[in-house]
Amino acid sequence: MSYVTIHGKARLLAPALLAVALAACSGKDDSAPAAAAGTPASPAATAPEPAVSAKVQSMGTDQLRDSASTALRENRMYAPAGDNAMEYYLALRDKLPDDAAVKSALTDLQPYTLIAAEQSLAREDFPEAQRLVALIEKVDPSAPALPRLKQGITRGMEVAVKRTQEETDQVKKNAEDRAKQLVEQQRLAQQQAAEAAAAQQLAARQEAARKESERLEAERQAAAKREADARAAAQQVAAAPKPAAAAPSLRAVSTPAPRYPADALRSGTSGEVLVELTVGTDGSVTDARVLRANPPRVFDREALNAVRRWRFEPISSPTTTRRTLAFEPNQ
C-alpha cells in the first residue's frame, strides 16, 4: 500500500476520530493526573523535555505511519508522552517536511492539544501543560495561543509556589501556636499542682494547730477540775465533825470490797468515795452515808452496799467513823 493511500485514509478518518477522541482523551487526562488535581505539582525549575521523545524520533517512516494510525484508532491523540499521534506525526514531518497529509493531520490535532493544555493548566498540572505547549509550539511556533498559555503556566507556577509557601508558613505557625499552647498548659498545670500542694500543707498545719489547741484546752479543763475537786474535798474535811475523843477503837472482822460498776469499768473510770458509817455494839454497821464522791454518783451505791456488809468486833457503845473506798479499774 502506498504512502499517499495510507494517509489519504487517515485524512478521511481523522475528523471523526478526533471528534470522538476529544471526550475520551479529556476523560483520560482528567483521571490520569488525579493526584495532581488533589495536590498541585511542584513547579521545579528543570530543563524542558523535547517535544518529541528520542524513541519516537529514532523510528523509521513506516513505523511512524503505523504507530500514528494506531494511536488515532485508540484515541491517543496527544497522550501519553512518547506514544501519541502528535509525536508520531511531528517525527514524520521532520523526516518528510513536504508531506501534505502529515501537515494536515497535525493541523487537525492541534486544537485538541490546545484544549488539553488549557485543561492541564486549569488543574495545575504544569509539567503536562508544558509538554502539550511544546507539542503545539513544534507544530506551529507562531500559534496565537502560545503566549497566553506560556504566560498562564508561568503565573500558575508562581501562584502555586506562593500558595505552597503560604500553606507551609501556616503549618509552621500552627505548629508554633500549638507548641505555645502546650507550654502554657504545662505552666498552668505546674502552677495548679504547686497551689494544691501549698493548700494541702496549709490545711495540715491548721489541723495540727487545731488538735494542739484542743489538747491544751483539755489539759487546762482537767487541771481546773482537779483543783476544784481538791478545794471541795478540803472544805468537806474542814466542815466534817471531829470524832469523839473517847470513841472506842474499831477492829474490823470482815470488810468485803465493793463491786465495780460495769459502766465505769468499761469506760476505765476510777474514783473514790468518803463514807461515814455508824457501828453498833455488836460490830454491825447500823447506818452509812456518803460524805464525798469523786466523781459524783458513780461509785456511791456500790460503796454504801459494801460498807453495810462490813463487820467489826463488838464494842461498848455505838461508834461513828469515816472510811475512804478507792475504785481503780486495774485493782
Going by CATH, does the domain composed of 252-327 fall within 3.30.2420.10? yes
Q: What is the side-by-side order of every strand in the sheet holding 319-327?
A: 285-294, 271-279, 319-327
| Opening angle at CA 58, ends 57 and 59, nearest 5 | 95
pLDDT digits (tens, 9 = 90+) for 33-72: 333 334 444 444 455 679 999 999 999 999 999 999 999 9
Measured CA to CA, the distance from residue 255 to residue 249 in angstroms comes to 16
36 class by beta-carbon count within 10 Å (0-12 exposed, 13-18 middle, 19+ buried): middle
DSSP character at residue 269: -
Indicate the pLDDT class of residue 232, thresholds 50, 70 and 90. confident
What pLDDT sits at residue 240?
Answer: 60
The whole-angstrom distance between residue 115's C-alpha and the CA centroid of its chain comes to: 53
258 in Cβ contact with 290 (< 8 Å):
no
- The answer to which of 9-23, 197-211, 222-236, 249-263 has the lowest mean pLDDT is 9-23
132 in Cβ contact with 29 (< 8 Å):
no
312 in Cβ contact with 251 (< 8 Å):
yes
Indicate the pLDDT class of residue 160, thresholds 50, 70 and 90. very high
Could you tell me the three cell numbers for 47? 530543563
Q: Looking up cell 489539759, which residue turns up?
A: 219
Structural domain boundaries in the chain: 3-143, 252-327
State the Rg of the chain over Cα.
Answer: 62
What's the whole-number average pLDDT of the chain? 85
DSSP bridge pairs for 323: 275
DSSP bridge pairs for 287: 278
What pLDDT sits at residue 331?
Answer: 65
pTM of structure: 0.43
Dihedral, CA of residue 72, residue 75, residue 80 and residue 83, to nearest 10:
-20
Measured CA to CA, the distance from residue 252 to residue 90 in angstroms comes to 150
273 in Cβ contact with 233 (< 8 Å):
no
Q: Looking up cell 490546545, which residue turns up?
A: 114
Measured CA to CA, the distance from residue 2 to residue 14 in angstroms comes to 18
pLDDT digits (tens, 9 = 90+) for 62-102: 999 999 999 999 999 999 999 999 999 999 999 999 999 99
Measured CA to CA, the distance from residue 209 to residue 201 in angstroms comes to 12
Residue scoring higher pLDDT (22 or 260)? 260
Indicate the pLDDT class of residue 17, thresholds 50, 70 and 90. very low
Helix (H) or strand (E) holding 125: none
Indicate the pLDDT class of residue 213, thresholds 50, 70 and 90. confident
3-state helix/strand/coil string of 135-187: HHHHHCCCCCHHHHHHHHHHHHHHHHHHHHHHHHHHHHHHHHHHHHHHHHHHH
Q: What's the start-to-end Cα distance of the chain, in Å?
A: 141
Indicate the pLDDT class of residue 236, thresholds 50, 70 and 90. confident
The amino acid at residue 255 is T
DSSP bridge pairs for 272: 294, 326
Measured CA to CA, the distance from residue 32 to residue 43 in angstroms comes to 18
